[in-house]
Structure formats: C-alpha cells, structure tokens
Amino acid sequence: MIYLDNSATTKPYPEVIDSFTQVSEKYYGNPSSIHRTGAEAEKLLLRARQQAAELLNVKEEEIVFTSGGTEGNNTAIKGTALAHQNRGRHIITSQIEHPSVLEACRGLEKLGFSITYLPVNHLGLIDPAAVEAAITEETILISIMHVNNELGTVQPIEEIGNIAKRYPKLHFHVDHVQGFGKVPLSLSDSGIDLCTISGHKIHGLKGTGLLFSKKGTDLFPLMHGGGQEQSIRSGTENLAGIVSLVKAVRLILEEQKKQKKHLLEMKETLWSCLDKMKQVSINSPAGHAPHIINLSVPGYKPEVLIHALSEKGYYISTKSACSSKNEDVSSVLAACGMPESISSSALRISLSYHNQQKEIEGFCKALDEVLHQFSELMG
C-alpha cells in the first residue's frame, strides 16, 4: 500500500505510540489527585506543557491541550465570540475555511452574530486589503487558515497579522492544522492570538491537539467543570495523549528541518508527471504548500478513480476528509471560480516526509494506466 492521503490523517510515529503506551501504563493517575500517583502524573503534564511551549517558542500558560483541530477551532471562534459579544458581534473569515470553522461561524449566525465570508481569487488567496476593509467597530475576531486543506494555498498570514496588530480590540485566529510541520509560521510577535494544531496530521494520535492562546486572550469555555487547562477546557487531562502529541510535535519539526528538500523534490516529480497528462488539470497554485496537489480529471467521477487507484495499491482522496461524503462539488474550488467540470472532479494527493520518490513515480504510472483504460472503455 502506498499512502498518499496525509492531509486526511497520518501514520503515527512508532515513538509516539511507544510514549502513549508507556504513559498509560506508568502514569495512569489523575493529575488533579493529591496522592503520589497523581503528583507524578501532574509533574509529567507540567513537563509536557513546558516542552510544547519551548518547541513553539511561546509561554507555558499559552498552551491549551485539546482533542484536535475541530475542538481547537471551535474553542477559538465560539470562545472569543461568547467572551466578547458585549463589545461586538462581527467576525471575519473566508469562504474556503475548514468545515469546523465555517460551521462554527454559521452556528454563531443563529445566535445573532454577523459573519463576513471573504472571497478568494482563482488561486484561493485572500487579499489582505479586503480583510482590513471588512473590519468594523463591531469586529471581534478574524479567523483565517494558514494552508488550505484542499488546494495547499498558503495565505498571507504575516500581512494579516500586521493588520490585526493595528486593531488591538480584535483577535486573530489561525487554523494551522495543515501547515504545521510543513510550512513555517512564527507565533511570536505575529499578531496571532489563537492558533490551532492537530496531532493526527503530524504523525501523532487522533484525539490529540493543542490551541495556542496568547497571554491575555479571553475565551469563554465550551466545557465547564474542574478548571483544567487554565479553565478553558475542563476535564481530566488525556495525559498519555498529551505526552505523545508533544513527541509528535518535536519529531515533525525535526523532519521539517532535515527533510523539506525531500518533500519539495517529490512534489516537483508529481507536478511534472501530472502536467504531462492531457486529461489532468492541476488546480493547486504553484509554489505554495510542499505537500498538497489538487487535480481534476473532467468527465470522471473522483470516487471511480480513487477506487481504481486503490486496486493498484495507491490511496488518495477527494477534497477534505471532513466533507468528502457530502455533495460532489468542492466548495473550495467553486469559491475560486472554477467551472463545475473541475470542481466536481477534484482529487487530492497529499505527501508526507515518509513517502519516497519511487512511490511518486509508481503513482504516476498507475494513474496513467487507469486513465488509459477508462479512455478505451469510453470509446
């Protein structure tokens, strides 16, 4: 099996699984318990938080451990909205955000909040000037993803962060789920107040993640209880998951330093071979995220191609895994102004540092064979 669906989820590092198992066996105490077993668990939790802060170059109290990207995004968006609704009820986002952002915003609309969904150009890029133009006295939050999960478009987060700095009464949230470990993003002095990271996208375990919440950022908690995670996320901490997440963060950042060239070379090989196939249209913008290529084969249902490729041992996907079972048309491609023949036939190939050049070459050959077979069948 050649796995090329790493934007949906990744295979956990063996070290991550080992750390989860060891902590589960040896540190099973509740960190809130006052006996020795609880104290040992609390000590390990504090060390994991310290290590996460060091790796991200932020303060320890700015780390909130979560269950992943969806919870992190909902906490950032709803938490900001509910905490600051007396000051303003306007939020700015884009038309091509992850469903966990878009649906959170739509949910807030039902509560009386006003949402501006900014358009994007044909590359999926947001105009920073449009962001600033949308800001009003009522604006309390800007939420823009760093790397688009379908196209791989990298948004101008630094420019938007500089705009956000000029408006100290609003907060800036970045969904960094697809970019972390592949496309660098500094959180220090960036204008970013909230940033979401998911464990299972970086060879960690499902159900793990973290939210960077800049010191002084006020969030209304979605879950009340014992006051864990600075009272932002109550509930007994998933200590084994947290330790394994920090391990994944460390390992993916090491790979980013050492293997970035390898990732880029694989993408270049893939791009070159796809570009030579007459039936294939490449939708991703050149020069953006090094691990995602979106393509369309007009006239073919994506599911048919995916099943045919899986029969040959290659696994890819259609659009976002969180929306792949919904309507056929990709809302992201549609927002980019692409015709229905393109937006309804989209496929996504997403790489990891663990893929190899020979796997990319094999995939290209397999896709070419599938398209040739289908062309003959269609006459």
Catalytic, 364? Answer no
Q: Exposed (0-12), middle (13-18) or buried (19+): which is 107, by Cβ within 10 Å?
A: middle
According to DSSP, the β-strands at 90-94 and 139-145 are parallel
Give 213's strand partners.
194
Token pair 């589960």 is found at 24
Nearest C-alpha neighbor of 31 from the set 229, 244, 167, 172: 229
**SS3 per residue for the chain:** CEECECCCCCCCCHHHHHHHHHHHHHCCCCCCCCCHHHHHHHHHHHHHHHHHHHHHCCCHHHEEEECCHHHHHHHHHHHHHHHHCCCCCEEEEECCCCHHHHHHHHHHHCCCCEEEEECCCCCCCCCHHHHHHHCCCCEEEEEEECECCCCCCECCHHHHHHHHHCCCCCEEEEECCCCCCCCCCCCCCCCCCEEEEEHHHCCCCCCCEEEEECCCCCCCCCECCCCCCCCCECCCCCHHHHHHHHHHHHHHHHHHHHHHHHHHHHHHHHHHHHHCCCCCEECCCCCCCCCEEEEECCCCCHHHHHHHHHHCCEECECCCCCCCCCCCCCHHHHHCCCCHHHHCCEEEEECCCCCCHHHHHHHHHHHHHHHHHHHHHCC
Enter the tokens of residue 376: 């003959």
Is residue 150 within 8 Å of residue 330, measured between CB atoms?
yes
Which residues have CB under 8 Å from 328's CB, separation 6+? Answer: 301, 302, 344
- Give the active site residue among 195, 322, 336, 364: 322
Catalytic residues: 322
